[in-house]
Chains A and B, each alone.
Chain A
Amino acid sequence: MAKELWKGNEAIAEAAIRAGCDCFFGYPITPQSEVPEYLSLHMPQHGKVFVQAESEVAAINMVYGAAASGMRAMTSSSSPGISLKQEGISYLTASELPCVIVNCMRGGPGLGTIQPGQSDYYQATRGGGNGDYRTICLAPCNIQEAVDLMQEAFDIADTYRNPVMVLMDGLTGQMMEPIEWREIPKRELPAKDWATTGKHGRDHTNFINSLYMVPEECDAHNAHLLEKCALMAEKEVRCEAVKCDDAEIVITAYGTPARIALTALDVLRAEGVKAGLFRPITLWPFPEKELHTLAGQDSVKAVLDVEMSAGGQMIDDIRLAVLGQKPVSYYGRAGGVIPTVEEIVEAAKKALKEAE
C-alpha cells in the first residue's frame, strides 16, 4: 500500500479506530489534543462513541464503565492529565478491565511545559496509583511503530484483562512521518464472558469490582494479579538492539532520544567508536534479561542511558538489568529540551573514557 503522511497523534487515533476501538473518552491537553480532535470527527462516522468528558478524571471513569460492559475503550492525555487519571487506572487494573491509555508526554513536573518530555517513566511503569499493580507500557519511537502497536495494545489488554499504556513523547505525537497501514496479525482473544452485558439466561450475575471486605480474599486477588504480571513479563517483552554485536558503548534510550541516538551511532562509528543502541519497546515488562546478556558481552565497556528527564528514570531499570557488570552513566535534558546528536556523541565518548 502507498505511504501516506500522518501526524503522530492523528495516526494513533486512526490506528485505534482500525483496531476496533468502540469508545473514546478524553479531554484536550497539549501536545495530544489532535487525538481527541481526530476521533471527535471520525468515531461517529464509524458508528463509534466519542465523548469529550468534563475532566480527565471523568474520562478515565467513563473508560471503566465502557470496558466493564465489554467495549474496547480508550483514553488519551498528556502528563498532567495522566496524573489525574491515576486513581481510575488503579481501579481498572484492580477490576481487571482491559483498556488503552495513551500518554503523549510533556515536560514536568506540575504543569511543566508543552514541549516534549519523558519524565513519566516511573508513573507509567511502577503503577502511578495506589496498590500493587502494573500496566503494560508500550513505547514507540516512530509513527509507523506507534500505529502498529495500537492494534497490539488493544489485543494485549483483552488477552490479560489489564490496562495497556502507550507511552510516547510529545515530539512523536506532533511530528509528521510517512507510514503505511499494515495488517497486524490479530490475536486469538478470550471471550468477554465476564462483562456486564445483561444476564442472558446465565446462572450467575457478573460483577465488576475492586472492593474486598475480607482481607484474605483481597490477598488472594492480589496473588491472582501478581500471577498475571508474571505471565505478561514472560510473554510480552519487546526490545530492539541496533549495531550491538561489536559495541564498546551501548546507548540505552526509548522514544525520541532513541531516534537521536541512532544518528549519534553513525557519527560515533564514523569516528571509529563502536557504539550500539539498546531500545526497550516495552518499558514494563522491562527487557531485563536481554540487557543483562548484552551488558555481559565482552566487547561492551560501558552503558550510557539517555532520556528526556532531569536525572533519568529508566536508568533504575537499566542498572537493575546491568547488575554492576559494566559502568552505567546518564545523559539527559528535561523541561522540554531535546538532547542533540552532538550532546549524545560527547556523552558516549565521556562514558567510554571513564570506563577505560
Chain B
Amino acid sequence: MNADAVCTHRISIITGHYGTGKTEFSVNLALQLAAEGHQVMMADLDIVNPYFRSRERKAQLQNAGIRLISSSQACSDADVPALPAELLTILQNRDLIGVLDIGGDPVGARVLARFRDKITAEDYQLIYVLNANRPEVRTPERAIQYLRAIELTTGLTCTGIVNNTHLCGETTPEEIRKGAALADQVSRETGIPVLCHVAETRFAEALSDLPEPVFPITIQMKKPWE
C-alpha cells in the first residue's frame, strides 16, 4: 500500500493513546510520501514525551527532503510545551502534504484545539492509531473512550483507524491480527473505517489476506542498543 493511499487528504493528523506507535507510523508515512514524490512537511507536536520523538529523526527526514518542525525547536529539551509558529505553514500552504505527529492521549491532543478553525477549513483527516498490546486501550470500550476523549479535546472528528499493533522486536503477524480484530470491533461500533494495518515489510505478505491493506514500514525509532 502506498502512503498516498493512506493520506487521501492534504493533512493527516496522527493521534492515539501514548505508546501506540504514532511517531514510528508518522515518520514512516512522511518518508514514504516523500519517496512517492510529494512535497512533505511534518510537525512533531509532541508536548508530552521528553524522549523518542520524531525530532530525533530530523537529519534523516531532512535528507529525504521533508521539512520538520517541532514544538520547541530552539531548545528541544527545554521541557517547555511551546508551539511553533511555522505550524501555520502546513495549514495554509496548500501545495504541501502535511503529517502532524501529536502527543499521546487527550492531553497531548490538546495542542490542536487552538488551531481547530484553521484545520477544519482544510482538507484533513484525523487518524486514531491503535495498539492492542497497550493495556489501557486493548478493549474496544477503552479504545473508544480514548478516541472520543481525543475528539472532545480537539474539537475534531476522527475519520480513520490505523492498526499499529506491535511488541517492539517481538512482533509477530499474529499480534498484528489481534490488533486487526480490535480495530474491526472499534470500527463496527463507531462507524469509523479502518484505513490500514501497519506492519514491518517482512510481515506484509503474511497479512495480505486482511480485509484492509497493509502499510509496510521500516523501524526508524530505535533504542540505543538496536
Q: Which residues of A contact B (CB under 8 A)?
A: 3-7, 30-31, 113-116, 170-171, 174-178, 256, 259-260, 262-263, 336, 338-341
Contacts and interface: CB of A to CB of B under 8 A. Distances in A.
Measured as residues with beta carbon below 8 angstroms from the partner, the interface class of chain B is 20 to 34
Nearest to B223: A175
B168 A5 contact: yes
Contact of A340 (B18, B50, B224): B224
B41 to A, nearest CB: 27
A262 B52 contact: no
Contact of A4 (B18, B51, B133, B224): B133
A114 B79 contact: yes
A339 B225 CA distance: 10
A278 to B, nearest CB: 17
B131 A263 contact: no
A171 B223 CA distance: 9
Best-buried of B50, B131, B134 by chain A (most CB within 10 Å): B50
Interface in B29-56: 49-52
A5 B133 contact: yes
Nearest to B20: A5
Contacts of B225: 259-260, 262-263, 341
Contacts of A177: 168
A259 B19 contact: no
Which 6 A-B residue pairings sit nearest by Cβ, starting from the closest?
A174-B51, A5-B133, A178-B167, A263-B225, A260-B225, A259-B225
B224 A260 contact: yes
A94 to B, nearest CB: 34
Given A5-B19, A340-B224, A175 B77 contact: no
B170 interface: yes
Contacts of B166: 5
B92 to A, nearest CB: 32
A4 B19 CA distance: 11
A7 B19 contact: yes
Contacts of B138: 4
Contacts, number: 66
A3 B77 contact: no
Contacts of A7: 18-19
Nearest to B107: A37
Contacts of A340: 224
Contact of B52 (A6, A174, A259, A336): A174
Given A3-B167, A5-B131, A5-B166, A31 B19 contact: no
B137 to A, nearest CB: 10
A249 B77 CA distance: 36
B135 A175 contact: no
Contact of B224 (A114, A174, A336, A338): A338
A143 to B, nearest CB: 10
Given A175-B51, A262-B225, 13 more contacts: A3-B170, A4-B138, A5-B131, A31-B50, A113-B77, A114-B79, A115-B77, A116-B51, A170-B51, A171-B51, A178-B168, A178-B170, A263-B226
Given A260-B225, A262-B225, A176 B19 contact: yes
B50 A30 contact: yes
A30 B52 contact: no
Nearest to B134: A5
Given A5-B131, A30-B50, A256 B224 contact: yes
A99 B152 CA distance: 40
A116 B225 CA distance: 15
Contacts of A336: 77
Nearest to A260: B225
B79 A4 contact: no
Contacts of A175: 51-52, 223
A341 to B, nearest CB: 7
Contacts of B51: 31, 115-116, 170-171, 174-175
Interface string B112-153: 000000000000000000010111001000000000000000
B166 to A, nearest CB: 7
B170 A114 contact: no
A44 to B, nearest CB: 16
A176 B168 contact: yes
Contacts of B50: 30-31, 114-115, 170, 174
